[in-house]
Structures are given as C-alpha cells and as structure tokens.
Chains A and B, each alone.
Chain A
Amino acid sequence: MTATFPAPQVPSAGTTAALKVEDLSLAYIVRGIPRPVLRGVSFEIAPGEAYGLVGESGCGKSTTAYAAVRYLPRNGRITGGRILIDGADITKMGSDEVRQFRAKHASMVYQDPGGALNPSTRIGTQVIEAYTVLGQSQDEAQKNALAALDRVNIADPIRVFNRYPHQLSGGMQQRVVIAMALASDPQLLVLDEPTTGLDATVEASVLDLVRTLRNETNAAVLLIAHNLGVIRSLCDRVGVMYAGKIVEEGNAVEVFERPQFPYTVGLLRSLPRHGVRKSQRALATIPGTLPQIGTDLPTCVYVDRCPLADELCRTVVPPVVDVGVGHWTRCHHYDRIGDIPEPDSGVGQVATEGAEVLALSNVSKTFHQSGHSVPALVKVDLTLNDGETLGLVGESGSGKSTLAKTILGIEGPDTGSSILLDRDELEPTAAGRPVKAKRSIQIVFQNPDSALNRGWSVRQILGRSVRKLTGLKGKAADDRVDKLAHDLRLTQRHLDLKPGQLSGGLKQRVAIARAFAGDPRIVVADEPTSALDVSVQAAILNVLSELQAESKTGYLLISHDLGVVRYLADRIAVMYLGRIMEVGDSETVFRGPNHPYTEALLSAVPSVDGEPAARIRLEGEIPSPANPPSGCVFHTRCHRFMQGICEVTEPPLIEVEPGHQMKCHIPLEELRRLQTKAKVEDIVLTTPPEALEAAVAEGIEPG
C-alpha cells in the first residue's frame, strides 16, 4: 500500500472549469411533496478532463448527469446551488436560453443508442441535422457529417449514411450518437452508461474511441457508469455518490486502490477482484439498503449501514477531510478505514465435484426462418459434473442462450443430438420429459422482474413449484417452502409479499429458491446478477456457492462479466457462432495460452484492477450464423489468421493439454509463445521493428 500514484489532475485555479457544480440540491415533487434526491453535490471538471460518478442505482448519479445539462423531468426542481458550464450559470437561464446554450456547449450520450436515434430517418439525415442546427448550410453540414462518422472510426461513412438505425449494430449506433454529440464541438460531454448493454468487445472499442476523441477535442467528460472497470479505464478522477451526496472524491486509481470512505470500501470489496475464487473467500456484502428517496439524513448519509458508525457519526455532520492530493472523504473515522472487518475471509464454500451428471454430444440446433436455415448450435459436446460450475462465455449471438434453452428443453435440438442426464437420454422438449427430469434441470433467469409472476405472492410462487415438482402436498409442501425460504434467507413476511414489493436482490433470491424447489441436479443461471447492483450481486454469488456446496448441484453459468465467471466457475467454455472454441479449467483458461478468440475476449474487458497488458481489438462484428465463414468460423476476425489453412479447413476441438480443449490450427506451444510475447512487448517500451510489424498485422495497439 505504499505504491505511488500518478499525480492527480486537479483543476488549477487559473482556468475556468468546463463544468462546475456548486452545492447542488435537487428534489423530485412526488404527489405534491418535494423529495430530496441530491443533497449538496459539488464537483468540477477541468477542460479535457474525464470525471466519473459511481454508486449504486438510486444514489442520484444519473440525476446529477441530467442536472448538469439542466435536462430534468417535469417534477424535478433545483432547490439550491449553481451549475456553471464554462463559467455560465445555467440555473439562472430561461428555458430557451438553456436550449441554445446546450446546443453549443454541452452534449449528452445516453445508455440506449437505439432509442436515441430516430428509427424512421436515415443516419445521414440525422447526422447532417446535428450540423444544420448549428447554422451550417446543407453542403457544409453534409461534408462535416461524413467527416464526423469517419472520426468515430466508421469504416464506410457513405454506406452508413444511407442506412436506417435498425440496420446498424448497437456499437455502430453508439458511434453515430457520439458523432452527433461531438458536432457542436462541446466543452462538456455527458455520457450516461454509454456501454451498458453492449458486448465486452464492442464496449472496449467504444471506450477506446471516447478516449481518443477526448484527447483530440479537449472536451471535458462526465461519465456515469455502474461498471467500475469502465470508470477506471476512462476517468482521471472519480466521485463516489451515496444517497445524493458525493462521499469521496479523488484520482480514479487512488480511490479504487486506497478507498477512504466505508461505502467505497464496501463497494470495492463486494466485487470479485484480483481473480478471487469462491474457494478462497466469500464476497463482502453491504448490509441494509439505500435509504428511500426523500429520507431525512441530517448527519452522515451512510451512518445506517456503516460498520464504523458511532455516536459522533449520528450527531455531527462529518467534515470534508483531505486524505491525499485532491483526494478527500466525508468521514469522521477515515483513519480507522483499515479496521473494517473482511467478513468470512478464508471460509469460501466449495462443492466437491462428483460424477458426470449431464453429457451433451453432437448437439445441434437449426432454426428455420423463411426458407433459410440458421444453425445456432453446431455439434456441441460438453459435460457437467455434480457440484461443478461451468461458465459459458461469448459475445451475444454466440449461441450461449440457445445452448441453455436446448438443455432446458425450451428448444428441441436437431435429430442426431444427444443429451444425457445421469446417463439417461432426455426427451428433446420439456413437455415430453418426465417430472423427474423436469425437477432435475431448472433455471435462474437474468431479470427477476420478468421471471416472477407479479400477480402471485412469494409463497404461491414457491409453493406451486414445490407441489408440481416434488409431488409433496399439504403440510409437507409448506415445510419445504419454509425450508427454501430459510436457505435463501427470506423471512415469513417476505413470503406473503408480491414480487413488486421486494427489492431486486430479494426477487432474485426468490427466483433461486424456485429453481431449487425440486432439489435440481443442474441449474442454468443465465446472467443471474447482471440486473443487480454490485453489493447485491455479491450476496447472490455467495448464496449460489453456498447452495452448491450443500446440494452438489451443477451450475451452467452464463455471464458476460468475467469477474463473476472467474469467481464462480470451475470450468469455462467459450462459444463463438454456435461452436465451442475452447473448454478448460477456470484457472487454465484465465492463465492461458488461449484460443485467439478467448484471448481477445479476455483482453477486452475493462477491469477495476486496471487494464489488461495488451488490448486486442476484434475487427468487425460477429458474422451471421445463417452464412458462417468457411473453414474456422473465427478466421474473419482472428488476429492470428494463417492464410491457406484457417479459411479452408475447420479445426477440430482437441485436447491440447489435460483438461483443456481448443479448436484452433495453431499448436498450443506456438500460442503460448505468441501470447507471452504480446504481453512482454507491452511492458518493454521500445518495441522491436519486427514485433511492431506483427502487432500492426494483428491489430494490437502497441503501448
């Protein structure tokens, strides 16, 4: 902990801040009563600086972002403070004035690019409009619009010009939105969850783009993201928000490595970081929930959940304490941060692995759409053992969900496929399977709001599953429901509530309890925590591994969050275009050498622990499964493509070392050499000419 950190970029007194928020208070009027959402938020961003706001949903970070450009819902009222963009106070402006000011000085990029573009207007028209609004002539605007698309790395601007938004991928749409946002050459660019919902590989390229553009334009960036890795990879400074107040602020690296506020500590510890695994320790959780909007919080906003809270915290407003250059915290007890106990350290739960419970061989699934056949799964061979977690990763469209659906029997596989459960052949669809098979394979869905019937009470939801799957009746069934609730730490009171009355974490617990109603052998967990905040995610991951340790259930875990996969999974399977490209023990896969596709995936993910050594950019998008590339299906995007082999023959999935299968023409030792070389290159600043050439050919960014 004695590492030196890069000097923080504190806005110097001489220049005017691009955005300066002073003691901003804001309330939403709900049924006539003002409910405070922001309680005196102050921060400033220098020109060319990137500032990140982090915090869990409901903490006020998005409200701050919208308030920064004074774009508020009708019931939002600024009740105090000032917002200065480039020195001009926008809280004092009339609504017309604000609109004109925004047009020239500030732009915003929202989470959903599909929603930000007009679906019935061609891209070109929309981008040109962004320039004509500024008073440019049609010709001038068109020239600038083409240049703008070129600037956001769109390869063929003229072709994109004539397209409609739905004809572009999510990543392309977001590039177009960013191009439009930059039209006015704004001093301030507000990005609200710009990469949420995009694949890791696409996310990486959008983040690269924002980084480059920031250097080119010297615009200040305010970034809102729930993903701390995204914040760390892009931001110079970061503010941690809790209940409408910034509780800690400082250099991003320093805050993430040496947090000085108990909430920040809790938030960071609840993430699976530094490659921690379930066998090493349980994840820390933050007890309690965010106070409801409008709650009166006279002293420290975090006092009710803080492990350090004492009488002083309840009676005296904590001062702003400097704990480093430009790093401050609002805590009475910042000197006792190290005393916060690490819960459950060393007692992580592990299941001992048992016999093979599920075996897939030659499983294919072809969809038929208007005369075309679309192979979504191609000859998948996979096994899952008792008490084992198999992590399934890959970009969207790689067939992960189809594979899960096929195992569950939601989609019947093609003839010739074989799925064995405990060595017994399974019927293709769930409807045809006996109750025993049904209770043995269950699922936890991504979104608990959709997965639980909102019209039923929790008791009804669990009771129905218990009765249907176990055949228990009356008292025995009720007892089983009580036991499930107890295992998932749901109280009797929760049982009588409807899902709408529960928080997201509790809803997901109910969904897990339902999956465990009939003592399943296998549970498919489809992105089980991606709809949840990180502290809640930690609790759910802990519960999943505890249940597994007790019941020896095998998990098929689908997740795009490699931290989650690494924490929970014992083995990992990587999918691309419906094929398994690599399977291996979790540690083997994370250590490498990897299939080039896995290598690219692993390097794309922004981590809260800092950037991976080498960044590999995947070119283009995942091809259509209806028309897969010849030979190795990954050859069109592969940075280790070998002319004459890869596009001709499809490599088989072979065991390259014990417990590690790969589908690649390049021998393992060659991959090992190439991949260690890439890492070394990045550390050695003077790149040898031949390596540079290779790096350019392979699409690696040197340095």
Chain B
Amino acid sequence: MAVSVTNAPGPAPAAATPASERAQARRETLKLLLRRPGFVVGIVILTFWVICAVLAMLEVPYTPWDPFDGYDLTIDNPAPPSSEHLMGTDRLGRDVFSRVLYGARDVFTVAPPAALIGVVLGALLGLVMGFYRGITDDVLSRIVEAFLALPVIMVALLTLVVLGSSSVVVIGVVGILFTPIVARTVRSAVLAERQLDYVTAARLRGESGPFIMVREILPNIAGPIVVELTVRFGYAIFTVATLSFLGVGLQPPSPDWGLSVSQEYSNMISGVWWPTVFPALAIATTVVAVNLIADGLQSVLSE
C-alpha cells in the first residue's frame, strides 16, 4: 500500500500532496475491507440493528411495555406471528416485534461503553506492563492473571447482586472485567514495539516514559486495539444478555433481549417459540455481525 517516492534529490513531482496520499491510503484500507464478504455482511447486519435502535426510539408499532389494546390476559393466548403482529405477542400480550426493535436500543447503549471502558483501562495497563517490564510487569501481570482465573459471569453476578443492577453498574462491571484480557493483548503488542530502535532513539533524546508510551508507541498499536475493541464489543453484547438472562442485568419490563429470552423460554415447551426465538436470533445475529467485522479488521489491519 505504501507509495514509494523517488530517491533522487530534486524538485518534488507535482503529483499527489501528502494529505491526499494519506486519504488515499485510508481509501485503500476501506477498499480492502469492502472486498471481504464477511466484513460487508457484518456491517449490513449491524447497521440494520443500529437503525432499529434509532427507529425504535422514534416509533414502534406498539408500546413495548404494555399489552396491545384489547388484549385480555384471561382469554387470549400469546398470538403467533401474523400480519398484525409480525413476530407474534408474548404471554403478557406485548408485541414481540416492537420489543425486539426496542431491545436493540439497550444493546447499543450498554455494550459499547462497557467495551470502551475495558479497552481504555486494558490498553493503559498493557502499555505500562509492556513498556516498563521488570518488577512492574511482574506484579501487574500476576494480578491480571489472578483476575483472569475468575469466571467473568460469577464475579459479575456477585457484584451486581451487591451493588444492585442498573445500566451504569452493568457497564462498569463488564468493562472492568474485560480489562485484564485487553491488558494482556496490548502488553504483547507493546513488547514487540518497544524492541524497535525508534524507542531507543526517543530515550537517547531524553523523552520520558509516558511520552514514549502514549505518543510514540500507542499510535503504532492502534490496529490491534481497534480489533480488540470490536471483539470486546461482541463479547459485551453477549455478557450483558447473559446477565439479563440470569436476572441481574436490566430489569423487567425492559425489552432487553436477554431478559425477554429468560422470561419466555419456559413457554417453548407449549409451542410458543416466537417470544424466545426472535430475541435470541437478534442476539445471535448481532454478535456474529460484530465478530465478522472484527475478523475483517484483524486481517486487513495486521497486513
């Protein structure tokens, strides 16, 4: 992708300016990404859910929290998908389609900040461990490993039970639980990077450790960090859904997907599959889409 420039000293050819060359490099990266069918499919699915989340805030066919008008809890069974209710209704007479649309909003308000917190904290920790090495790395690495040994869901469950569950707490807990995993990935990227001579050159002109870490090394490991952010986003969706399913995440009557699955799956036996299957499909497609995007980024950015 690199644009080679003539070695001959002399006037610069009038062709491209550096700014446009950089823009061209970005376009090239984008073009490479768009050549990967997996990445494109991922983007399409994710865009679909983002649009749903936005639209849901503006308008849904039915109120997600209430039974549709005229629903009689004592007489009516959950209605199967029909032209009136595209995904049927659940056992409380709520329109599943509206709830799934609305649930997308919860996913996109909780999972990205959680992933972001995990990646920011993890990247900082990883930078410090990889850059300073020695005793700092030894101590922090053991702590990180201790955290990694704990099952994420168990710790999250306990914390949420103690702190009570709200979106903010879920975001914080999931973010912190992702930190050690991200820290390890970033650490290994930093270890490779600090071997390079430009780090020595920076030391020889008297740069401080934090300057070298943040201004010199960090931009060069942006690729792996972006990939990590995407991967963590996928995991965050899944973790949040799991916590809701276990009843410690978002609380009823929220239309959260994980919560909907947990409330409705017992009715699968009696043939009422739609209130469970549609939110489950929503979770699955979003996670798969995010992972497809992560795969694409990984292979293109690491080239």
- Chain A contacts to B: CB under 8 angstroms: 287-289, 292, 408-410, 430-431, 435, 438-439, 441-443, 445, 447, 450-457, 464-465, 468-469, 489-494, 496-498, 500-503, 505-506, 514, 517-518, 536, 539
Contact = CB atoms under 8 A, between A and B. Distances in A.
B201 A491 contact: no
A292 B9 CA distance: 18
Contacts of B207: 468
A447 B18 contact: no
Contacts of B200: 410, 443, 445
Contact of A289 (B6, B17, B216): B6
B76 interface: no
A494 B6 CA distance: 10
B5 A503 contact: yes
A88 B216 CA distance: 56
Contacts of A452: 198
A455 B25 CA distance: 13
Interface of B: 2-12, 17-19, 21-22, 196-198, 200-207, 216, 219-220, 222
A639 to B, nearest CB: 37
Which 4 pairs between the two chains have the least Cβ-Cβ distance? A489-B9, A496-B18, A493-B12, A455-B219
B204 A438 contact: yes
Nearest to A467: B205
Given A430-B206, A438-B206, A514-B201, 4 more contacts: A441-B204, A497-B5, A501-B5, A502-B4
Contacts of B216: 453, 455-456
A452 B216 CA distance: 10
A454 B203 contact: no
23 contacts: A287-B8, A288-B7, A288-B8, A289-B4, A292-B4, A409-B204, A410-B200, A410-B204, A438-B204, A438-B206, A442-B205, A443-B201, A445-B200, A456-B216, A457-B18, A491-B9, A494-B5, A496-B19, A497-B5, A501-B5, A503-B6, A503-B7, A506-B5
Contacts of B3: 501
A367 to B, nearest CB: 16
B197 A454 contact: no
A287 B10 CA distance: 10
Given A289-B4, A496-B18, A451 B12 contact: no
A492 B12 CA distance: 8
Contacts of B201: 443, 445, 451, 514
A4 to B, nearest CB: 39
Nearest to A455: B219
Given A455-B219, A501-B2, A450 B21 contact: no
A289 B203 contact: no
Contact of A501 (B4, B19, B202, B205): B4
Nearest to A469: B205
B206 A435 contact: yes
Contact of B198 (A288, A410, A451, A501): A451
Contacts of A431: 203, 206
B21 A497 contact: yes
Contacts of B8: 287-289
Nearest to A494: B5
Contact of A503 (B4, B9, B18): B4
Nearest to A489: B9
B204 A502 contact: no
A377 B205 CA distance: 25
Contacts of A450: 196-198
Contacts of B6: 288-289, 503
A36 to B, nearest CB: 17
A502 B202 CA distance: 21
A503 B3 CA distance: 9
Contacts of A514: 201
B202 to A, nearest CB: 8
Nearest to A493: B12
